[in-house]
Structure 1
Amino acid sequence: MNKSLFIIGIILLTFSCSQKKGDYYFDFDQVDHYSIKIDENELFDLEEKKNLTQNQRLKIDIIVNDKPEKISDTAFIPKLTKIGFTKNKVSENEHAELNEIFREKSHDEVYALACVHVYRDILIFKKSDSIIGIAKVCFDCLDSQILGTDVNTMEFGQSGDYGKLNRLLNEKKL
């Protein structure tokens, strides 16, 4: 009998660990979504140019490189629309779903793709009009760069969350 209880306990522990949900990444009340439609070849051609304008350099740094490096580096945000990004406010009706995506979770399987990330989507999380989080997302590589949280973001987007986020941000609302 004790052996049966031990096995049941291990099964329950395994199940509860695989379903564990942890802390939310951000405590936000507003989210701005910036997106750009740009071909990778256009970016690579731009990178090869010798005399880049300040806006062209910023575009490459934002889309291909790791700018910003710190949550305090927010000077680029007002320039996003000048370099080709479109700004949309994420509806408050979608905040709960967004919160579930941007939450620490453990997964049974974790996948990683090896490709050159092109961050065409950027989310700016705000609380009382102050920027508290930045998430750059590449839906092609299923990769992200997330700043402003102490929560472990290593498994962000797994178990279908990249797909959920892509639908939430990019499907036409009727």
Structure 2
Amino acid sequence: MTKPLIKSVIIILIFSSCQQNGDYYFHFDEVNHYSIKIDENELFDLEEKKNISKNQQLKLDIILNNKPKKITDTTFIPRLTVLGFKKNKVPSTKHVELNKIFREKHHDEVYALACVHVYRDILIFKKSDSIIGIAKICFDCLNSQILGTSANTIEFGQSGDYGKLYKLLNYN
């Protein structure tokens, strides 16, 4: 092989190995986990009511709908505990494990469940006290809404990562 060809092969190998373990979604120094125990039927009953309070509507928008739509929409976060969410700071000893889950990965098989997403878990990622990422997780449907990253999140949670994340967050 000629030297230019060998250099090209090496560059291709390096590039393809980088593709297997892609970018981290977030570079964070703090993570807050908000969770709520709420029955789906309670949410669906609330959704059927005609006159509901602003707090009830916000709860529905967060748990069942696409709120927030942008990473800059953070006004709902201080209201989460008022809405019934429990807040826990994820210990920094768990950050390495979180990074292993919240990064671009390639999976041979990708699964999706067809169910109504109920986002009972929300992770708020911070760097220097600024919110840099939001991840809403539905462990029942194995689905997520992730904001604040330019990384490809389409295969998030596959290959057992939802189970790993569940165990990591429910460490008590």
Q: What TM-score, normalized by structure 1, do the two folds share?
A: 0.88
The Cα shift of 1:171 comes to: 3.3
Matched, 1:77 2:77: yes
Which whole-Å deviations, capped at 9, do the CAs of 1:124-166 have from their partners, x for residues lacking one? 0000000000000000000000000000000000000000000
Residue identity opposite 1:141 in structure 2: C
CA distance in 1, matches of 2:46, 2:21: 42
- Quote the residue 1:157 is aligned against: 157
Residue identity opposite 1:31 in structure 2: V
Secondary structure (helix, strand or coil) at the match of 1:95 reads: helix
CA distance in 1, matches of 2:46, 2:52: 8
Residue identity opposite 2:157 in structure 1: G
- Quote the residue 1:88 is aligned against: 88
- Quote the residue 2:28 is aligned against: 28
CA distance in 2, matches of 1:86, 1:26: 23
CA distance in 2, matches of 1:84, 1:160: 29
Instruction: State the number of aligned residues.
Output: 158
CA distance in 2, matches of 1:98, 1:114: 26
Which whole-Å deviations, capped at 9, do the CAs of 1:83-141 have from their partners, x for residues lacking one? 00000000000000001000000001100001000000000000000000000000000
CA distance in 1, matches of 2:97, 2:21: 14
> How big is the alpha-carbon RMSD for the aligned residues of Structure 1 and Structure 2?
1.4
The Cα shift of 1:170 comes to: 1.5
- Quote the residue 1:48 is aligned against: 48
Identity across aligned pairs (percent)? 77
Which whole-Å deviations, capped at 9, do the CAs of 1:30-88 have from their partners, x for residues lacking one? 00000000000000000011111000000000000000000000000000000000000
Moved segments of 4+, more than 6 Å: none
Unaligned runs of 5+ in 2: 1-12
Secondary structure (helix, strand or coil) at the match of 2:82 reads: helix
